[in-house]
């Protein structure tokens, strides 16, 4: 019986790892590439008759959503396949498609999820993350979110004019022709720049001198610790993602108290998966930065030979058989 569903897009490499792991276990599953809806995929949700199906003409299969017991949610995307439409018509269709997916998520609300859409959205709030992390007992950076210029300047000065600025949500800047990314960056804030803060809230933290970055991946109750050697060059010293070449990664043994706090955080957020970022300061103390409830992990599996995909698929299989 087809009881495991992967929700993503056809170009998602991370989901390819899950597909391979499930195939290796000889477990039946269906991968819903949402960008194929309107092309090779059709949906039919009959509310009165309680019938909810996905029809895939390419794979020649139909999926009864009421038989799905476990869901791996990754990166759904939407494409309008119709031609010759106005921008208004395209936006309307996109909106209808997104809300149709929202209906699909609700239909599957009795299944086991890694992770549910609602839990992901709640967990993505960085201020909420820090409140919980502090409550659990993690060390966190000095942090302010403000659009009051005086508050921003006071915070900056009180941290010896050594601060970073980062997006409160995603750093992705979408555009019709070219996209951009805003990275975490060191901040220089004089009086004239401070006045611009009034236009948009800024998310500031004190700049902590670090020896390395850490990515701790939690799958269920399993923990994978990766140390990222970010301090080998200036370009990656503040935000390791800015490195122009692949950085060395090492397996690190996570202290038991940090493990337990990571598990406590994912449980408070109702997450079955979480990618947690820390920095290791000069005293070798762990400082919590943020948790990504739908973060990337495939590159770590490749670099350090972790069995993250096996743990995810084992959890899906176990829950699908309950």
Q: Does a structural domain hold residue 202?
A: yes
Report the alpha-carbon distance of residue 167 to residue 18 in Å, rounded: 30
Q: 206, 233, 252: which is the final residue of a domain?
A: 206
> Which residues form the domain of 58?
4-115+316-320
Instruction: Kindly give the pairing relationship between strand 70-73 and strand 180-181.
Output: unpaired
pLDDT in tens, 33-89: 999 999 999 999 999 999 999 999 999 999 999 999 999 999 999 999 999 999 999
CATH of the domain at 166: 3.30.1490
Same structural domain, 12 and 108: yes
In tens, the pLDDT along 276-303 reads: 999 999 999 999 999 999 999 999 999 9
Residue with tokens 């803060």: 197
Whether the Cβ atoms of residue 197 and residue 147 lie closer than 8 Å to each other: yes
Domain co-membership, 186 together with 283: no
Pick the last residue of a domain from 159, 175, 206.
Answer: 206
Q: Among 322, 321, 313, which residue's Cα sits nearest to residue 72?
A: 313
Q: Tell me the per-residue pLDDT of 259-272, one tens digit each, with 9 for 90 and over.
A: 999 999 999 999 99
Residues 178 and 232 both lie in one domain: no
Dist. CA 243–CA 234, nearest whole Å:
9
Q: Max alpha carbon distance in the chain (Å)?
A: 65
Residue 169 domain-assigned (yes or no): yes
Same domain, 34 and 110: yes
* Tally of structural domains, the chain: 3
**Is 179 exposed, middle or buried (CB count within 10 Å of its CB: 0-12, 13-18, 19+)?**
exposed
For the stretch 124-181, pLDDT in tens is: 999 999 999 999 999 999 999 999 999 999 999 999 999 999 999 866 655 555 566 7
pLDDT one-digit tens code per residue, 26-46 = 999 999 999 999 999 999 999
Asked which of 206, 224, 249 is the last residue of a domain, the reply is 206
Do 254 and 235 share a structural domain? yes
- Across the chain, what does the average pLDDT equal? 94
Q: Is 132 inside any structural domain?
A: no
Chain mean position to CA 264: 18
Report yes or no on whether pTM surpasses 0.85: yes
Angle made by CA atoms 276, 278, 279, in degrees to the nearest 5? 165
Contacts of 148 (CB under 8 A, 6+ apart): 197, 198
Same domain, 13 and 101: yes
In a domain, 263, yes or no: yes
Both 176 and 77 in one domain: the answer is: no
Domain of residue 95, CATH code:
3.40.50
The CATH code of the domain that includes 248 is 3.30.470.20
* 150 domain-assigned: yes
Per-residue pLDDT at 171: 60
């Amino acid at each position: 019986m087809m009881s495991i569903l992967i929700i993503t897009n056809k170009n998602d490499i991370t989901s390819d790892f899950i597909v391979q792991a499930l195939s290796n276990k000889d477990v039946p599953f269906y991968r819903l590439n949402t960008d194929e809806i309107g092309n090779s995929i059709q949906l039919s949700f009959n509310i009165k008759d309680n019938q909810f199906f996905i029809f895939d003409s390419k794979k020649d299969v139909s999926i009864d959503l009421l038989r799905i017991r476990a869901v791996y949610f990754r990166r759904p995307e939407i494409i309008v396949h119709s031609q010759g439409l106005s921008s208004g018509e395209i936006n309307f269709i996109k909106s209808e498609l997104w809300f149709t997916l929202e209906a699909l998520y609700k239909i599957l609300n009795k299944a086991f999820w890694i992770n549910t859409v609602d839990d992901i959205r709640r967990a993505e709030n960085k201020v909420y993350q820090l409140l919980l992390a502090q409550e659990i007992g993690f060390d966190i950076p000095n942090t302010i979110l403000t659009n009051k210029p005086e508050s921003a300047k006071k915070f900056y000065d009180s941290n010896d004019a050594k601060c970073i600025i980062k997006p409160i949500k995603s750093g992705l800047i979408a555009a019709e022709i070219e996209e951009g990314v805003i990275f975490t960056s060191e901040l220089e804030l004089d009086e004239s720049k401070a006045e611009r803060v009034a236009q948009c809230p800024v998310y500031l933290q004190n700049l902590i001198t670090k020896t390395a970055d850490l990515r701790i991946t939690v799958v269920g109750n399993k923990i994978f610790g990766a140390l990222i050697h970010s301090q080998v060059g200036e370009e990656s010293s503040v935000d390791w993602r800015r490195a122009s070449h692949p950085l060395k990664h090492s397996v690190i043994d996570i202290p038991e108290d940090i493990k337990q706090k990571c598990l406590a955080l994912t449980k408070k957020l109702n997450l079955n998966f979480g990618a947690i970022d820390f920095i290791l300061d000069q005293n070798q103390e762990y400082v919590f930065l943020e948790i990504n409830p739908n973060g990337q992990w495939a590159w770590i599996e490749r670099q350090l030979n972790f069995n993250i995909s096996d743990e995810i698929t084992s959890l899906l299989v176990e829950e699908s058989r309950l």
